[in-house]
Every structure is written in structure tokens, then in C-alpha cells.
Amino acid sequence: MFQESIPFLTLSGTLYVLVVSLFFNVWLLIRKPPTTEQPSTKKSNSALALNLPKGWWSDPDRFQAERRAIFSQSWMCVSHRGRFRKVGDYIVYEVAGFRFFMILGKDMIVRSFHNVCRHRAFPVARKQSGSALVLGCRYHGWSYDTKGTLVKAPYFDNLPGFDKSQNSLFEIHTKEDGYGFLHINVSAREDVATTTPPEATRSGELGQIKLDSHLIDTMEFKGRFNWKVILNNQPRKSSTEVSTKDIMGTLLSQSPHSVGKMGFFPLTTVQTMSNGPFWYQLTYSPETSQQTAMRCDVYSSIASKDNEFEDATKISLMNELKQNIREFEKQHKQLTTSGYHSTGANDSHVNILRMVEGHLGQEKIRGCEIKPATVKQQFQSEAFTKADQSEFSLVRL
């Protein structure tokens, strides 16, 4: 009996081995082969996200590096065509320390200029906003038209060799997109004119945003927080390639009033509102490493009276914006007192870090700071200097 069972056991064992072998070979064929790129890429991205430099939220030197690397050479959305209704309308802005004004010309084109006279660098536009075909520096009377051309220069008009056309205001690259938003790039490089502002992140209903929208209100706030805080809490992505659209994810906050949203890297968001033809543009302006201003321009897609936006709607929006400022300040305080400066890091911060570190690398090679927004004053002749001295003497008398 025992001898008769041996062939059966042998056969069963053979079948068992064959089944196991077959299963193992099939598993080898279908399983995904291991790669070295994906883990290393993920590790690299994670490492960057978790190791932001100390002082990321508060270091004044790092803030200045951000001004040179980002704000001095990036397209920034700062206004909308609806602010300029008639020829000569102008408004003065300050973004990341760059003070300039925008003005509507006779050709119905909005231009931007550094708000400094070519003579002694005093402000040309003295009021925050207004309308004028000619803007003049109060110090010595140099005056400029809507295209920035010097049209009047007391004591210099009859100076031999003095060329008014060589003393126009320093113009800033300005472009208007299909929605009527106005973008500037303060870089002094001429080739910037051939580039275009990046497209906005868009979601929801944007029908209220029109070229002929009317400005109906402006609110301004300031808070003690680093500008990068507005980019916090954005979900991370596994890819190391981060577009400017990704960076604006956090800024498109879930406002209870919002129907549609747009985001422009690095400082501007736009939201349409559910209760009427209104929409508003938020533009943040970093002032220091620990202080940021926010301007809210409210528009209407139809010619409406101001009181239509008053009372409950305006108060509700104002309270919401104030609450956002308080939340930013709270986050900033936590980040600067925790002792761990990389808290809240995400792909936006990683991308900003790359831009800044890349610029600092170029500065290290050159051995000096690189300031793309710096404009060069032309060489003044001996005759110019004499006229300047004569003018100064007459003014003192």
C-alpha cells in the first residue's frame, strides 16, 4: 500500500513545481521593471521643497535678490484698461519698490514710465492719479507729453547741442492682453519687447471681465508678511517642471463671492463676483522682506452707479480681504518664529528658489550684482553742465 502511493506523490510534486515555476515566470514578464530616474527625481524635488534657505521669509538680502531675479525682469500684471477712460488719464503705481506711472496717449495706447524726471530725477507725476496731456516736474519745470517726450526744458531749450528727443522719460515695457489687463516688465533690455506676458490661470465664469469695464472703487491694505506667504498651502506635484500657472494655484482662493478666477504670476489675481456685474483685481506689492501691500480695484462690466456696489456687498468684500491679510500675518509669524524656515514649502517656492539661485549664480560669475531694471542716464556735455549750474543759480536767486 505504501509502495503504491509513491508514484502519486511524485506526480503531485512535479505538478506543484511546474505550477509554481509557471507563476513565477509570468510574474517576471508582467511586473514593471524598476527605474532609477523616478525615485531620484522625486527625491530631488522633495529635497528642494524641504530645504529652503534660512531667512526665506524674513531676510532683507534675500528680498533684494528676489527683486533683481524676479521683479526686475518678469512680466507683472498691474492694472486694467478700464482705469483709463480719456486721453491723458494717468495713475501712479509702486510695485516691489519700482515707482512708475501709466498714462493713456492720444493714440489710445497705455504707456508706462519710471516716475523720474530726466533732469534731477524728481517725480513727474505728483498726484496719485489724474488727467493731463502734459506732466511737468515741479523742481525745474521739465515737461513731458503722453508719449514721454520732453516738450519743455527751461534754460535748455536754446542750448546748442541739446536734443530734447534724447531726454525723454525712461519708458517701461507695457503690453495689453485680450482681457484688457496691462502688464509691465521693468527690465531695461530691449529684447524684452519681443516677449509676451505668460497666460493666466483661468477657471469658472469670466464673462464680466470686459475691455470697457468701469472702475468703481479701490481699496488698499498693508500687512506684516512676506509676499511668498500668499503662495502657501499649494499642493505639491511630482514633476520638477513647474509652470507659472501652477504657481498661482493658491492665490485663486475660494471666495464666497467668486464665480470665475484668474491668476497672473507673480503678484496678481482676478475674481468675478456672483452678485452683479462686478469683478475685482488684487495686486500685491512687496515693500520689504516682512511687509506687503495689497490693492483691490473693483470694476463693473456695465456703466453702473457707485451706490450699486455700496453697503452689504462692499462691506462683505472688505471684511473678506482684511481677514485674508490677518491670515497671511498669522502664517508669517508662525513661519518666522518656528525656527524652521522651510515650513509650508511647495513647488511654487521651489521654482522661485531656482530663479533666485540662478540669478545669484550669474552674479557670482560676474563678480557684481546684476540689476536688469537699471536705466543708464546719457552722458551730459560741458554745455549741459554749465546750463544746469546757471539754472540752479537763478533758482536760488
Q: List, for residues 11-45, the tens digit of each pLDDT value.
A: 455 545 454 455 545 444 444 444 433 334 344 44
Rounded distance between C-alpha atoms, residue 316 and residue 221, angstroms: 15
Record the cell numbers describing residue 276, joined without a space: 452683479
Record the cell numbers describing residue 159, joined without a space: 542750448
Q: How far, rounded to the nearest angstrom, does the alpha carbon of residue 163 sit from its chain's CA centroid? A: 37
Q: Of 97, 128, 114, 99, which is closest to residue 291 (Cα–Cα)?
A: 97
Q: Write out the CATH class of domain 75-197.
A: mainly beta
Please state the pTM of the whole predicted model.
Answer: 0.79
What's the confidence (pLDDT) of residue 26?
Answer: 47
Tell me the backbone φ, ψ of residue 260, rounded to 5 degrees: -125, 155
Query: Residue 70 gets which letter from DSSP?
Result: I
Radius of gyration (Cα) for the chain, nearest Å?
A: 30
Is 3.90.380.10 the CATH number for 54-74+198-365?
yes
What's the confidence (pLDDT) of residue 283?
Answer: 97
Name the residue ranges covered by the structural domains of the chain: 54-74+198-365, 75-197
Residue spans of the chain under pLDDT 50: 1-11, 15, 17, 19-20, 24, 26-49, 234-254, 342-343, 392-397
* Grid cell 521651489 in the structure block, residue: 350
Rounded distance between C-alpha atoms, residue 298 and residue 318, angstroms: 11
Please check whether the two domains, 54-74+198-365 and 75-197, share a CATH topology.
Answer: no
Rounded distance between C-alpha atoms, residue 340 and residue 54, angstroms: 8
Q: Are 263 and 200 in contact (CB under 8 A)?
A: yes
